[in-house]
Amino acid sequence: MAHALVNPEGLHDPVPFGYSHTVSVPEGSELVLVAGQYGSGPDGAIVSTDFSEQVRQTFRNIGTALAAHGLGLGDVVQLRTYVVDHDLGKLGPIAAAVREGWGGKPPTQTLLGVASLAAPDVLFEVEAVAVRG
């Protein structure tokens, strides 16, 4: 049985914002934890100082990390998203990247605004939890 996303009545529709409210994971599933990924290329260097490009590259990197375990974005049940100097204008590129990766079934997600991340040019970072059912 696959994981089940549920957006209960009585709570706003979170899907346009790029997340779901809840997910249940079947008993006995294996969790795969992906460390914080950011907008870097294979050499570790930031691909761009542009926020939107960092967001897109970050999600590509998550896909690469999951593929090493035979999984894909559809296996992700939770994201933890960190945004440097967060403002509402940054929600659009994040929601667009989530729609591109997950369509109408985004995983649960928590977004945190932070002062800085590991390096000065890192503007966006995401941790992921995936499930092998």
Instruction: pLDDT band for 112, please (50, 70, 90 cuts).
Output: very high
Identify the pLDDT of residue 106.
Answer: 96
Mean predicted confidence (pLDDT) in 87-105: 96
* pLDDT of 1 higher than 80: no
Query: What is the C-alpha separation between 40 and 110, in angstroms, rounded?
Result: 22
Residues 14, 120: contact at Cβ < 8 Å?
no
pLDDT tens string 48-82: 999 999 999 999 999 999 999 999 999 999 999 99
Q: Is the pLDDT of residue 133 over 80?
A: no
* Distance separating alpha carbons of residues 40 and 123, to the nearest angstrom: 11
Q: Domain extents for the chain?
A: 4-132
- The predicted model gives 109-125 an average pLDDT of 97
Phi then psi for residue 82, to 5 deg, are: -120, 125
Contact between 76 and 23 (Cβ < 8 Å): no
The CATH homologous superfamily for domain 4-132 is RutC-like (3.30.1330.40)
